[in-house]
A and B are shown apart, each in its own frame.
Chain A
Amino acid sequence: MTMRMTRRQLVQRGAAGATLLSLPNLLAACGGGGGGGGGGELADTLRFSNWPLYIDFDEKTKQHPTLDEFTAKTGIKVDYFEDINSNAEYFGKIQRPLSQGNSIDRDIIVLTDNERFLGLMIDKGWVEELDKDLIPNISNLIDAQKSPPFDPDRTYSLPWQSGMTGIAWNEKETGPVTSITQLFEDPKLKGKVTALNGMGDTPPLVMLDNGDDPASVTDATWTAAIDRIQAAVDSGQIRRFTGNDYAQPLSQGDLAAAIAWSGDIYQLLSSNPSLRWALPTKGGVIWTDNMIIPTGGSAPTASTFMNFVYDPKIAAQIAAYVAYVPPVKGTQEILAKTDPKMASSELVFPSDATLANAHQFDSKALNNQTYVEQWQKVLGA
């Protein structure tokens, strides 16, 4: 579409755009609201902050093939930063300038939807709108992701990669662990079980086990879940709460089972074939790392990039390296030709049945201050 313009035109437009973008006026105009986006001009550089090891990387050339191909196709350079290592810490770092309406010098950042910060940024208007005219490939977005609760029309965000939260177990230590009830109450597992410290990971799994809907949380369903988790902590059933540091104890047999992320287990499998992972039979969580454009970012440039990575060929390239659940239709077929093992893995390409059993957590609940404090209390703070 807009790619039809000559390279020279693009570079010229990009240069003009960059000059405009550097004027304080423009920043003030774009700041503090979701409207419009940065000036309508393509910048000559895309500033992209992402999680580490979350985009393809060629060890021989020491380059990121996807980024190089993007530059080759559009002439836009990419400044790629791998400085997001936790939603909370990254938010803690950027909240101050954003709260004052200032730019953080990024066009795309990636935050997870089962933590409060993504929804918070959108609610507070600290994001720019996507320029959907520049993202025709948005039609490739898988149906399950088309209308998330925190951004029902996909005005501000697009998925980067997804993952699932379920239960992992070590076959050498225990038989299959298929439910939260088993995890929290089976005396054979006492003290050999961990739960994730994410508010959007453990509570929704417990709610599903209680028969409640995690997509619309009420005080009653929340309290029921919290009480159950607290009981499992008090009884010593749950050894501790973890981030992804369950991986080593699970591998070495300190743990029999853990609430765990699908992507980790995929990576651990080759070293430790006795590990298993599944969504609990009563349901698990699917979470998504979303690309958003923070205040002051260039919406056209960011949108152009998003369109690029929603091409199934590019998506397959990224998925092959990253091994999380890609949000782009058609990726599985392309990947089947180069990496059939991954293409047939439930962990990377969950079947429809699995997807039907994977739920998203109520984003309003994530920002409910009372719930947040109660959850932190369970964690010990």
Chain B
Amino acid sequence: MRWVKRHLLPAYAVLAFCYLLLPIAVVIAFSFNAPSGRFNYVWEGFTLDNWVNWDAPPGIQSAVVKSLEIGMLSTILATALGTLLALAIVRHQFRGRGATNMLIFLPMSTPEIVLGASLLTLFLNRQVVTGFGTIFIAHVMFIVSYVVVTVKARLIDFDRHLEEAAMDLGANEWVTFRKVTLPLLAPAILSAALLGFALSIDDFVITYFVSGPTQTFPLFVWGAARVAVPPQVNVVASAIFLVAVLIMIGNVIWGLRGRRAREESMPPAVPLPEQLHQPEAA
């Protein structure tokens, strides 16, 4: 019984991951399919050809590149803006605090189709040419809210004693922020950034309206879907997934190696007690 109890949680975690990743496994599996027609619905045979010729469908390469560029840029800016907003809302009293808090939730609750169309109207009225820039603007706009809510979750019960201690020890506010606050907020900021990137890289409706001639990966996929689902779509999707996971794994391994190197290269700062009390050998 003890054994079951101890292993219940990890077993659940495994099951939960299976549930989350099962469709992804299917996606990856079908990226190796060799369909004879334009649709990739029936398994017909294994091939590495799709991975080798991943950019065979016209337009897929530039679409992926655009999606990744927009994703990273908009995530970075939105995370920055959102973190600042969260800090302001949680840590300061100011007029309009309640209203600002409510305002943050509005973009999430607005259906994308009307938001996209209205945003396009705005751009048209101001004679802004639609394209990469307008997609970037729109993405930052709808990602900010998610960042604010996620970072706030961390800030609300944030233990300020550590910051107070740092300042007692002579750090000014900026240094405290950089060396105490930000590192402690890092998991929240990372989570917010991951969610933001996910929102950007998978957005279709708003992007469709404000994209002008620019094609992002979701636009490509939904557009092509009327006549084809080329296996290269699975390849690109799988690749993005795998690269993200590998980057994180790489991060861990690099951190491990760094720690071991540091431990090995540093002499003990303080003599070990045994060394102090050992009589000198004659």
Residue numbers of A with Cβ under 8 A of B are 51-54, 57, 59, 62, 64, 79, 81-86, 89, 92-93, 96-97, 102, 243-245, 247-248, 251-252, 263-264, 267-272
Which A residues are CB-close (under 8 A) to B121? 96
A132 to B213, CA, bound (A): 29
Q: Are B227 and A271 in contact (CB under 8 A)?
A: no
- A117 → chain B closest CB, angstroms: 15
A-B CB contact pairs (8 Å), 16 listed: A52-B220, A52-B223, A53-B228, A54-B227, A64-B58, A79-B213, A83-B219, A83-B223, A85-B219, A97-B124, A245-B225, A247-B41, A268-B37, A268-B41, A271-B35, A271-B44
Query: If A52-B220, A96-B124 touch, does A82 touch B38 (CB 8 Å cutoff)?
Result: no
Which B residues are CB-close (under 8 A) to A248? 39, 41
- Which of A57, A89, A93, A96 contacts B58, CB < 8 Å? A57
Which B residues are CB-close (under 8 A) to A252? 41-42
Query: If A96-B124, A263-B227, A271-B44 touch, does A81 touch B213 (CB 8 Å cutoff)?
Result: yes
Q: A51-B226, A251-B41, A272-B41 are in contact. List 14 more A-B contacts (CB 8 A).
A: A52-B223, A53-B227, A59-B56, A64-B58, A81-B213, A85-B222, A92-B113, A93-B208, A102-B124, A244-B226, A244-B227, A263-B227, A267-B227, A271-B41
- Which of B38, B53, B208, B219 contacts A53, CB < 8 Å? B38
Closest B residue by C-beta to A60:
B56
Q: Are B219 and A251 in contact (CB under 8 A)?
A: no
A281 to B213, CA, bound (A): 43
Query: If A82-B215, A85-B222, A272-B42 touch, does A267 touch B228 (CB 8 Å cutoff)?
Result: yes
Closest B residue by C-beta to A97:
B124
Query: If A251-B39, A271-B37 touch, does A52 touch B224 (CB 8 Å cutoff)?
Result: yes
Which B residues are CB-close (under 8 A) to A86? 226
Which A residues are CB-close (under 8 A) to B209? 92-93
Which A residues are CB-close (under 8 A) to B37? 267-271
Which A residues are CB-close (under 8 A) to B226? 51-52, 85-86, 243-244
B120 at the binding interface (Cβ < 8 Å) = yes
Contact pattern, B 22-38, Cβ under 8 Å of A = 1, otherwise 0: 00000000000001111
Q: Are B58 and A62 in contact (CB under 8 A)?
A: yes
Contact pattern, B 221-237, Cβ under 8 Å of A = 1, otherwise 0: 01111111000000000
Query: If A247-B39, A251-B42 touch, does A96 touch B227 (CB 8 Å cutoff)?
Result: no
A102 to B120, CA, bound (A): 14
B59 at the binding interface (Cβ < 8 Å) = yes
- A289 → chain B closest CB, angstroms: 11
Q: Are B227 and A270 in contact (CB under 8 A)?
A: no
